[in-house]
Amino acid sequence: MSKLDSTDVQGFALRGYNFPLARFLFLRIPNARNGREFIARLVEHVETGELWVEGKPHTTVSVAFTYAGMAVLDLPQASLQTFPVEFVQGMKARAGILGDTGKNAPDRWDDVWRQNPVHAWLGVYAQSAPELEEKCGEIKALAEATDGAQVIGSQEAAALVIDGKISRKEHFGYTDGFGNPDYQGVNRDTQPGQGKLSPDGKSWLPLATGELLLGYADEAGELPAAPVPHLLARNGTFMVYRKLHQNVAAFRTYMREKGELYPGGEKKLKAKFVGRWPDGTPLELSPNHEDPAVVADKNKNVNFTYANDLDGARCPFSAHIRRANPRDAFGFTGRLANRRRIARRGITYGAYAPDSEPVDDAERGVIFMALNASIFRQFEFVQQQWIEYGNDARQGNDKDALLGNHEGAGKFMIQGSEDAANPPFLCARLPNFVELRGGDYFFMPSITTLRMIAAGTVDPR
């Protein structure tokens, strides 16, 4: 394997930033000449994957483009025609494939995603509100000075602040952010359980670099489909951006009502829906109670498999974390799941609603971003086959209990055991706990590629 040059990869692609504040800017590029000038000046602000030897920066900037954005920048047709079809079509055109229908349908999305296409996404993360404003001001000044981009929409996002402290929880009350994959050549803190199982099933190894970045071999030993020339694709990745609104009132009402009927109670019912207790303890490691020691232990909190729970008695087949990453549940030491892994980046948006207070219908949820070398083979497969369809989990048409587009008609079968405290239990008439508010597919180029685009030197010959 060729060595990964982290200075040529956008830092957002290699690791989660874990900043408390973010703003996502959605841009229109008026024409190729001005757009290139804007990119030439913007690239100096873009964070690379280089390790922070002098500590965490105050802000970071990342950039990615839709197919429409790449086209308006006047890339050669011979290059544009080699982008994967799902990227060319975009997320809105793939709604039927993804199960984005009903309340999740594109005609109900936020205006910025329903109207003229977004050309570029800018992600700005910051440690404080003044620093966020200052950096966004710099970016907007560049756009105005070059007349190379117009901000047509934005999304504020921030980690929840609970009891005066920055929290890892999301609006449903679950501790989030476990288990992003390890990849060969990517220098980051690693934990057992984040990569793939070794052939003997006794240890964990990093996934092939080509499952995340273009230009490297993937788990099949092949180069993922990528645009030409090679330099245009190398060290780049594809990003899926989805704004997921959380129906907190509906979730709390459902859990309270069903929790009164479920022998394990409301808290255990919540754990069954996700596969983790609200504090982050995996059901596989502690099926009957939360265990803070497990959550705090990086050698344990993602270090588990489903080989000894093939009947779903500990973690139900349709629990969210089992559907999104089945690990070894299909056998073959997890090899069937290894090619479906994605790197997740997420941050909450909207006001936190404490459990003790009534919940209004304000917009709140999670900005979900997935990074993968193949949108079709990775994100789309997981969304279509494992989130919105249950056959691989032996659940027929049943969807992911938490994220599924149930439209009031879904059900969630909780497998149980002979233990009276852990009986089988059926949850019927599932509402949509989560609704899609929009998004699109983006290409996140390398630093070299950004400079090539800016200089107009992309040449497929």
- 427-458 confidence digits (pLDDT tens): 999 999 999 999 999 999 999 999 999 999 99
Rounded-to-integer distance, Cα 155 and Cα 346, Å: 13
Co-location of 395 and 431 in the same domain: yes
- Contact residues for 308 (Cβ-Cβ < 8 A; gap 6+): none
Query: 424: domain range?
Result: 243-438
Residues 357, 248 share a domain: yes
Q: 396 and 275, same structural domain? A: yes
Shared domain for 148 and 281, answered yes or no, is: no
58, 116: one domain: yes
**Mean pLDDT, rounded, for 13-22:** 93
Instruction: Specify if 194 maps to a domain.
Output: no
Q: What are phi and psi of 6, to 5 degrees?
A: -65, -20
Instruction: Examine the domain organization and report whether 321 and 386 are in the same domain.
Output: yes
Q: Is residue 192 part of a domain?
A: no
Could you tell me if 322 and 316 are in contact, meaning their C-beta atoms sit under 8 angstroms apart? yes
Residue 149 lies in a domain: yes
Q: Quick check: is 310 in a domain?
A: yes
pTM exceeds 0.75 for this model = yes
Query: For the residues 11-24, what does the mean pLDDT come to?
Result: 94
If we measure between CA atoms, which residue out of 47, 55, 59, 61 comes closest to residue 7?
Answer: 47
Asked whether residue 352 falls in the same domain as residue 413, the answer is yes
Q: What is the pLDDT of residue 2?
A: 61
425 lies in some domain:
yes
Nearest residue to 103 (alpha-carbon basis) of 367, 431, 453, 449? 431
Instruction: Please give the helix or strand (H or E) that residue 434 lies within, else none.
Output: strand 434-444
- Sign of the Cα pseudo-torsion (85, 89, 90, 92, in order): negative
| Same domain, residue pair 98 and 13 | yes
pLDDT band of 178, cuts 50, 70, 90: confident
Is residue 259 assigned to a domain?
yes
Determine which helix (DSSP H) or strand (DSSP E) holds 232, and give its type and residue range. helix 230-233
Closest CA to 124 of 20, 220, 49: 20
Are 365 and 444 in a shared domain? no
Query: Could you tell me if residue 377 is inside a domain?
Result: yes
Q: pLDDT, tens digit, for every residue of 305-322?
A: 999 999 999 999 999 999
196: Cβ–Cβ under 8 A, 6 or more apart, which residues? 204, 205, 206, 207, 219, 334, 335, 338, 341
20 and 121 co-located in one domain: yes
**Tokens 């969304």 found at:** 383
d(CA 230, CA 70): 16
Residue 212 in domain: no
Contact yes or no for 342/372 (Cβ under 8 A):
yes
Buried b (16+ CB within 10 A) or exposed e, 152-175: bbebebbbbeeeeeeeebbbbbbb
In this structure, the answer to whether residues 14 and 128 fall within a common structural domain is: yes
Rounded Cα gap, residues 423 and 414, in angstroms: 8
Q: Report the domain count for the chain.
A: 2
- Is pLDDT at 59 greater than 90 in this prediction? yes
Question: Are 288 and 434 part of one and the same domain?
Answer: yes
